[in-house]
Structures are given as C-alpha cells and as structure tokens.
Amino acid sequence: MLTGIGVAALLLLTSPGLPMVWDEGNAIRRAEGIARWAGRWTDAGEKAHQPGPLTEEAIEQDWQYTTHVEGHPALYGIVIASGRAISARWLGPLSSARFGPMMLFGLAAGVMFYRMAREYSIVAAIAAVISLVLLPRVFAHAHFASYDGPLTSCWILMWATFAPAREGRRWAVLWGIALGMTLSAKATGWIAPLPFLIWAAVYRDRAAARALVLGMPVALLTFFVLNPPLWHHPIQGPVTFFQMNLSRAARPELNIATQFLGRMYDLHHPLPWYNTLVWTAVTVPVGILVFAGVGLIAVCRCREDKAGMLLAANWLVLLMVRAIPGTPPHDGVRLFLPSFVFLAALAGVGSARLIDWSTTTWNRRLPAMLGVILLYLGSASSLGWYAPQWLSYYSLLIGGLPGATARGMEPTYYWDGLDRSVLDWLHHNTGPDEKVLFGAGPSENLALLQRWGTLQCRHGPDAPGRFRWYVLQRRPSGWTPADRWLIAHARPAFRKTIRSGGWGPWRLDVPIVEVYAYQQYRQATGAIRSKTDR
C-alpha cells in the first residue's frame, strides 16, 4: 500500500510541471460528456441538474466511445471523469483531469510490488517498482488524462491477479474483471489474453485453464458494462467497434506517420519487424536495460520459473504484435507501452539475481547492492535531466536526444514541448490585436488551455486580429512542405529546448518547438506554391 501511495504522490507532485499533450484535450472533452450524463461537476463549475437517462439518445450524445470516432473504448473516460469529480475542488483543472489515471497507476504500482514480493523477493519487488518509475516515457504517460496510462495500469492489475486466479474461483472472477477493464481501456487490450493462453498451453496448467474459462466470460461482461454505447446494440455494437479498430488504413485522418531511423512509415508502409526491439533499446535507461537482460536470461535458463516466463510472455507478445504489418506505427513506444511494465519486472528479477549471485559466488553482497544502486541512480539522473519532456528521452545507446535526432528519430511527437516557457514567451511577445497560428496544433488542447487561462493569446483563423507568430513542433512526420522550408531557410524568433548546456549525449539543446514570424510562414507557403506551379 505504501508503495502505491508513494508512486501516486510522486505523480501528483510532478503533474503541474508536465505540459498538456496531444490527446488529453480530446480525452477530457469526452470525459465531460460522461460527467454531464452522470450529473457530476464540470470544469466550468456547472452542475448538471440530474443524472442522465439510460436512453439511447442520451448515451449517443454523451458517450463518444466504442462505436464513435475511432472506436476507443470508454474506461479512460470513466477514470478521468471520476478523478475530476473527486479532485476538482482542490486541484487545478489539468491535474484534476489527470487525477484518476495517476491514482490508478499508483494502485497498479502497489499491486505490482505485492505480486513481485510474493513471486520472488522484497529486493526484486523494490527494484521492479523503481525500474517502472524510472522509465521516462512510462513515467510521462502515467500522468496523462488519456488512454495509454490506464491501459498500462489495467494490464498490471490483470497480470497481478492471474496467479491467485489459478487457486480459486473468486480470484478468477477478479482476474476476469481486471481483464475486462483492460479490454475497455484501449483496443490494444484485446491482445491481453494471448500471453496467458500461450503460457497455460505451454505448461499444460489445468488450474490456469480453469481460470481462463471462468474469467473470460466475466471479462466480456465487464467490457459490456463499461461501454454504454453497446447497451442498446449488443450485437451490432461490438461489430462496429472491431470494424473501426481494424480498418484504420481506409481512413486517411487516422493514418498517422512516424519517422524511424531516417525514413517515414505509415499504415501503407509498415515499420520494419525489428522496430520494437530498437525502440526498447534506445528509450530505456542503460542500467535498467542491463538488469532486464539479466532477468530475461535467468528466466529463460530456468524453465521452472513459471512466474518469470509469464512476465517474458507478456513482454514478447506486445513487441511482436506491434511488429505486425498493418499495426499503427505512430508515436514511438506509446502503442506498446505496457510492454515496458514487464521489462521493469524483469529488471527487478535481474537485480535480485545479480545480488544473489554475487553473494553465493564471491560472498560480496554489499558491493553488489552498491553497484545496483549506482546504476539505478544513473537512471534516476536521466529522469531529472529530461524533465518535464520525458517523451523526448533517448538512452546513451543512441547518444541521447542529439544522437537519436542525428540518426533520424523524432525528437518529439506529442506537443509536450508547448510548456509554460513557450506560452509565456507568446504572451509577452504578442500584442492585443495579434494572434498565433499553431502548425498542426491540437485544437481541443488549445481551447481548454485558453479556457483555463494558461494560454492567453488568441489563436486560429477565426479569432480576431492579425497573425503575428507561427508555432511549429519539431516532429518530422507532422511537417508540411512549408514547415520544411522554414526549418531549412528561416531563423526562428524563439526556440524551445529541454535545457541549455550539457555535453555529448547529455546536450539537450535540440529544438522541440520553434516560433517563427507569421511573415516567414507566408514566405514559406509562397515559395512552395511557386515551386509547385513550375
């Protein structure tokens, strides 16, 4: 319990400094629909008169999930809306929207500690949770009012309840509920049963088979209950859900590209099969990667370590599914984020095994523990050095952020560079009759930031005033031809980097957001138009 409280408190403490990221605005807007339906407080302080009816029309209006837009299931919206209902009176609007996902992640971290301690040792449990928190990209997503953090948390809960599910029906039902929550967090959750099925088949574990047989119907029922858009369409609703999630290549607006090692990939040009291995190698701190490697070797050498093989199965399945052609490629590690949980657990196993091995072989437990602690301190320094732009973290294996950028990896992808320093600069350098244009900016984020008073400049084509600035995110896969012209030929008025100073792989002066004069943007669009007309 103390572990979970500590992780939740750390997330809550660091949330105000973490900028709003791309999908949060959309997720918060959808969660407001649930709040209206339930009769809860909204962000504007207005309270619905009464809980919404269960009519099909009310659900269609307020539950924009499962069978709407891109087919995201509804759990993350429920978590966001519930967290805001609890915390809106004493937290800022963005942190209150993040409260539910952060508390869920804290709960998952506490359960992870308990399960690792039961399966291995206190040392392995401590190291696993420390590894989890010190993974910069996981730590970042654990804050967000979005879907990847809740998906990761639910996957932890599902894994942690599977071992006792083999021992009794009540736990099997609980595992089924956790699995149903995972299915309801994101479409990726529908591959969650696969590693457990494979594990049960390989070990011919009858107790596990019984737990699966009992838990799977419970999971499907839980999914149905947590997704009201299915209530009035119990057959066509799931069909629509799967169609929307399996046919994204047919919808250009959902075919989002990414740059990987200097080349562009999308749904029509799949990433190479090894992309998940590369992403893992270059976005995990070296010390944790070493511990995870030791843990994986130890698990594979001892086939009787059934708990370890289940960890490895979950990790490998997530990596392999992301490598299948046709899987959405965008946003770096985000779409297989839960795999890093099991890498952290394997790092916990590896840390404990290294200490045990040093004790039995050399009778040198204290030096081994000090070595492990030093490697973890190195990983912790990376978390501090990149704060709060943890989504731009790259490890020393690729030369940090400057090395990754030089090798054709995207320095940023989620607009987390649009932090207080950028917004303050825009506020102090934009006149009362001027406005700002954001290149491929998240409109729902900007609207909420303006409503909350965080963004004080007018923006967008419909706002009064003349354009003064053009704001560009340094995400190569999102650039227009005009953006590329600007980067090649113009000098920005303001350049956002994570920090100045540093040396070699610790030099974080790589730009992640730039501000150009609007006149430069007009010049860029004119140059592109002239080139096209020739």
- Residue written as token pair 């825009």: 426
For residue 52, pLDDT over 80 is answered with: no
Q: Give the sign of the dihedral formed by CA 154, CA 156, CA 157, CA 162.
A: positive
What's the confidence (pLDDT) of residue 282?
Answer: 97
CA distance 152 to 462: 39
Please name the amino acid found at residue 513: V
Q: Identify the pLDDT of residue 206.
A: 92
Is residue 41's pLDDT more than 50? no
Chain mean pLDDT for the chain: 92
Which range among 145-149, 266-270, 469-473 shows the weakest confidence by mean pLDDT? 266-270
457 beta partners: none
In degrees rounded to 5, what are phi and psi of residue 167?
-105, -10
**pLDDT at 525 exceeding the cut of 90:** yes
CA distance 101 to 189: 16
> Using one digit for the tens of pLDDT, what is the confidence trace for 313-365?
999 999 999 888 888 888 889 999 999 999 999 999 999 998 888 777 666 77
For residue 106, pLDDT beyond 80: yes
User: Poorest-confidence range of 8-17, 210-219, 290-299, 499-508?
Assistant: 499-508
The CA dihedral of 307, 310, 312, 317, to the nearest 10 degrees, is -170
- Measure Cα distances from 87 to 39, 94, 308 in Å: 16, 11, 38
Amino acid at 243: Q
The structure tokens listed for 161 are 């309840």
From CA 52, how far away is CA 367, in angstroms rounded? 62
Q: How far is CA 70 from CA 254, 446, 509, in A?
A: 8, 21, 36
Q: What are phi and psi of 259, to 5 degrees?
A: -100, 130
| pLDDT the model gives residue 177 | 97
Question: Which pLDDT tens digit goes with each residue over 166-178?
Answer: 888 899 999 999 9
- Mean pLDDT across 63-69: 94
CB neighbour class for 71 (10 Å; exposed up to 12, middle 13-18, buried from 19): buried
Select from 464, 459, 435 the least CA-distant residue to 446.
Answer: 459
Listed in order, strand segments (DSSP E) in 369-527 are 434-438, 458-459, 466-473, 494-496, 513-517
Residue at token pair 């209902």: 85
Res 252: pLDDT: 81
- For residue 370, pLDDT beyond 80: yes
Residue-wise pLDDT tens digits, 208-218:
999 999 999 99
Higher-confidence residue: 462 or 275?
275
Q: What percentage of the chain carries pLDDT values higher than 70?
A: 96
Q: How confident is the model at residue 42 (pLDDT cuts 50, 70, 90)?
A: very low
Determine the Cα–Cα distance for residues 392 and 413; give it in Å rounded to an integer.
8
**Average pLDDT of 505-521?**
95
Q: Which of 143-157, 274-288, 448-462 has the lowest mean pLDDT?
A: 448-462
> Residue 112 above 60 pLDDT?
yes
- Distance CA(415)–CA(392), nearest Å, equals 11
The SS3 of residue 471 is strand
Residue type, position 504, single letter: G
As a whole number of angstroms, the distance between CA 76 and CA 338 comes to: 15
Q: Residues 6 or more apart from 474 whose CB is under 8 A from it?
A: 411, 412, 417, 510, 511, 512, 513, 514
**Model pTM?**
0.94
Angstrom distance (rounded) from CA 527 to CA 534: 11
Q: Which residues pair with 260 in a beta bridge?
A: 263
More confident call, 532 vs 42? 532
Q: Is residue 368 scored above 80 in pLDDT?
A: no
pLDDT at 49 over 60: no
The confidence band for 44, taking pLDDT boundaries of 50, 70 and 90, is very low
| Among 137, 133, 134, 114, CA closest to 125 | 114
Report whether pLDDT(47) > 70.
Answer: no
**For residues 69 and 119, is the Cβ–Cβ distance under 8 A?**
no
Question: CB burial class (10 A; 0-12, 13-18, 19+) of residue 489?
Answer: exposed
Q: Where are the domains of the chain?
A: 2-341, 420-533
pLDDT of 63 reads 94
Decide if 198 contacts 244 (C-beta within 8 A): no
pLDDT tens track for 72-87:
999 999 999 999 999 9
Provide the β-strand partners of residue 436. 459, 469
Distances 452 to 219, 430, 460 between C-alpha atoms, Å: 38, 19, 17
Q: What is the pLDDT of residues 389-405, one digit of tens each?
A: 999 999 999 999 999 99
Give residue-wise pLDDT tens across range 189-229.
999 999 999 999 999 999 999 999 999 999 999 999 999 99
472/313 Cα distance (integer angstroms): 41
Q: For residues 117 and 102, is the Cβ–Cβ distance under 8 A?
A: no
Distance CA(484)–CA(487), nearest Å, equals 5
